[in-house]
Amino acid sequence: MAEKESLFKEFTKGIVIENPVLRLVLGTCPTLATTTSVRSALGMGLAASIVLVCSNVVISALRKVIPSKVRIPAYIVVIASFVTIVQMLVKAFTPELDEQLGVFLPLIVVNCIILGRAEAFAGKNPVLASAVDGLGMGIGFTAALFLMGTVREVLGAGSFLGLSIPVLSQNPMLIFILPPGGFFVFGMLMACVNKLAESRGKPRAQLRGCDACPMAATCKLHNEAAPEQPAEEEATA
Amino acid sequence: MAKRLTVSASPHVRSHETTTGIMLDVILALVPALVMSAVYFGTRALCLAAVTVGTAVLSEYLSRKIMKRDNTLGDLSAVVTGLILAFNLPATLPLWMAAIGSVIAIVIVKQLFGGIGQNFVNPAITARIILMMSFPSAMAKWIVPFSSAWSPDAVTAATPMAVLANVTGGDVSAVEGLPSLVQMLIGAHGGSMGEVCSIALLSGAFYLLLRRVISPAIPFSFIGTVAVVMLIAGKGNLQFLAYELLGGGLILGAFFMATDYSTSPINRKGRIIFGIGCGLITAVIRLFGSLPEGVSFSIILMNILVPHIERLTTSKPFGYEKPEKKKEEAAKA
């Protein structure tokens, strides 16, 4: 029973409290780039989620075999294999989505959410927990992208999933599908999720520093090294 | 013996200037240009100004209320923001778009960052740029003066800036469609509501300089830099120079928007750097950019640089000596 409860916790934490985009501020680049329409946002979210779950499972299964000194290259090889598979599938079955996502589909290889979960979770936890963690994080990522894509497409293009909305489509505020609008919506959503998390007694997400990071408890850098060295390579990627 | 001496903590000498007083001066200085825009673009211009000012005041009141902060309507800064925003818009702009602009200026740019004095970019300019990027066609519908701005098919014309963008090497006579220099001065040409009449703007600016509300450092270095670059670009053609200085939002921007207290440097050296930067960016956008006009972008870009300018131009305390560099140690190492 306790086992099941903790699995459920691993699953739900990725959706709001440790939402990879809005709380851990990871994977910002594909988030801003692919949310100009709901369709491409969903496509990106799903593709990344599939890679995330698969690579989490494989990395977790191999965690005792991979020497810790070469773990990052090993993780990348695993992730890259899955990304290649997903990319081939997308190219074969939904070529228009492939066109929309462009370079961001192969770039999932270096998506810091996936590498981050491999490093922070799958490398230390059993297979089932890692799969559930990947699923939760993937849903969190997809949900954040879907929300952002919805706001940006409805206001910026006056449509939803390509269907035009009567009044809004006459004079859409173009800025929402341009990069500045993306940053604006991203900031606003982050503020909302921060508020939501604060009301549950969690610290707000910050772009710098370790103390406010929801992953601080499990983070190696934070616990072993001096607190002056924040894990910035994650935050900036 | 009655109390002869009052003991109090410094400061002992206080200025009688208040935010409200300064803002009132700015509003007064903007009135001539507002009157002229009403003359050229009719009641529609006044209606647009009423909408931007009204929305600005309302959104200031509501956002302060929602954020549980003190009411700051009394300092009139929202009125000034609304008025300057209206000056930056074409008189034909749909009123709801103008209202969105005011909400962006007050709520997003000003109040979310803490209210008056806390905004890091100029609210009115940011709102103009967001509107320009959001509704490019509506924001570029410049009507000819004295044609009714109310009718949907009012006569539109290219602004002098758009015509000037085609001029190469400063030869103004080679292009058609430029108004005469006198028309440029009195404002009988297409353009934003408040930017057309240079004389009205200059008289307002003169009043502000006289009242010492604004310091001459920013506007003069701004306009001066544009003048120098245009003189070089126009190969010394003075007519081209005059068009560049009188056209577009240069006068409005240099005197009324670049001088905003919270988004410009504090001391003179910083202000001159700020003005030169604005001038350079404006000139570069006008000469090489795809947009005909660059005043608003230049001001917003320099606004963002202000903290760095401030850090480089901190004033030296009296009697301060530079610590000598330890050359010997450096040589040893």
For residue A219, pLDDT beyond 70: no
For residue A155, pLDDT beyond 70: yes
pLDDT, residue B155, reads 67
Burial of A165 (0-12, 13-18, 19+ CB in 10 A): middle
Domains of chain B plus CATH, in order, are 19-312 (1.10.3430)
Residues from chain B that touch A171, judged by Cβ atoms under 8 A, are 94, 97, 135, 138
3-state secondary structure of B136: coil
For residue A54, pLDDT beyond 50: yes
Q: Which helix (H) or strand (E) holds B103?
A: helix B95-103
Q: Shortest CB distance from A175 goes to which of B97, B134, B138?
A: B134
Range with the lowest mean pLDDT among A12-16, A95-99, B90-94, B306-310? A12-16
Query: How far, in Å, are A21, B3, B4, B13, B183 from residue B7 at the CA level?
Result: 57, 10, 10, 14, 61
Whole-number Å distance between alpha carbons of B197 and B86: 14
Whole-number Å distance between alpha carbons of B193 and B82: 13
Angle between helices B123-134 and B295-312 (to 10 degrees): 140
φ and ψ at residue A164, rounded to 5 degrees: -80, 145
The mean pLDDT of chain B is: 85
| Max intra-chain CA distance, chain B | 84
Chain B CA closest to residue A174 = B134
Asked if A180 has any chain B CB less than 8 Å from its own CB, the reply is yes
pLDDT, residue A72, reads 87
Å between B129 CA and nearest CA of chain A: 10
- Answer yes or no: do B94 and A171 touch at CB < 8 A: yes
pLDDT band at A193 (very low <50, low <70, confident <90, very high): confident
Q: Among residues of chain B, what percentage have pLDDT more than 90? A: 32
Q: Are B34 and B49 in contact (CB under 8 A)?
A: yes
Is the model's pTM score more than 0.90?
no
Q: ipTM of this model?
A: 0.77
Q: Please compute the mean of the pLDDT values over residues B226-253 and round it to a whole number.
A: 86
For residue A229, pLDDT beyond 50: no
Asked if A168 has any chain B CB less than 8 Å from its own CB, the reply is no
For chain B, how many residues are written? Answer: 333
Residues from chain A that touch B97, judged by Cβ atoms under 8 A, are 171
Q: Please compute the mean of the pLDDT values over residues A37-42 and round it to a whole number.
A: 90
pLDDT, residue B103, reads 93
Q: Give me the amino acid identity at B81.
A: T
Task: Please give the sequence-ordered ranges of beta strands (E in DSSP) within chain B, or none if there are none.
Answer: none
Q: State the DSSP string of chain A.
A: -HHHHHHHHHHHHTTTTT-TTTTS--SHHHHHHHTTSHHHHHHHHHHHHHHHHHHHHHHHHTTTTS-GGGHHHHHHHHHHHHHHHHHHHHHHH-HHHHHHHGGGTGGGGG-HHHHHHIIIIITTS-HHHHHHHHHHHHHHHHHHHHHHHHHHHHHHHSEETTEEPTTTTTS--GGGGSHHHHHHHHHHHHHHHHHHHHTTTPPPP-SS-STT-TTTTT-HHHHHS-TTS--HHHHH-
pLDDT, residue A226, reads 44
pLDDT digits (tens, 9 = 90+) for B134-170: 888 888 777 777 766 666 666 666 777 777 777 766 6
For residue A34, pLDDT beyond 70: yes
Interior CA angle at B258 toward B253 and B263, to 5°? 145
Q: Please compute the mean of the pLDDT values over residues A117-143 and round it to a whole number.
A: 89
Asked if A175 has any chain B CB less than 8 Å from its own CB, the reply is yes
Range with the lowest mean pLDDT among B24-38, B231-245, B267-281? B231-245
For residue A235, pLDDT beyond 60: no
For residue A220, pLDDT beyond 70: no
Q: Please compute the mean of the pLDDT values over residues B288-299 and round it to a whole number.
A: 85
Asked if A191 has any chain B CB less than 8 Å from its own CB, the reply is no
Chain A CA closest to residue B126 = A180
Å between A192 CA and nearest CA of chain B: 14
pLDDT band at A51 (very low <50, low <70, confident <90, very high): very high
Residues from chain B that touch A178, judged by Cβ atoms under 8 A, are 133
- Choosing among A154, A170, A173, which should be mutated to test the B contact, i.e. which has the most B CBs within 10 A? A173
Whole-number Å distance between alpha carbons of B281 and B285: 6
Looking at per-residue pLDDT, the higher value among A178 and B11 belongs to A178
Which residues of B touch chain A, with CB atoms under 8 Å apart? 94, 97, 100, 108, 130, 133-136, 138
φ and ψ at residue A231, rounded to 5 degrees: -80, 75
Chain B CA closest to residue A188 = B108
Å between A124 CA and nearest CA of chain B: 42
For residue A214, pLDDT beyond 60: no
Asked if A167 has any chain B CB less than 8 Å from its own CB, the reply is no
pLDDT digits (tens, 9 = 90+) for B53-83: 999 999 999 999 998 888 888 888 899 999 9
Calculate Rg over the CA atoms of chain B.
22
pLDDT, residue A232, reads 44
| Max intra-chain CA distance, chain A | 59
pLDDT, residue B314, reads 83
Q: Please compute the mean of the pLDDT values over residues A53-80 and round it to a whole number.
A: 90
For residue B305, pLDDT beyond 90: yes
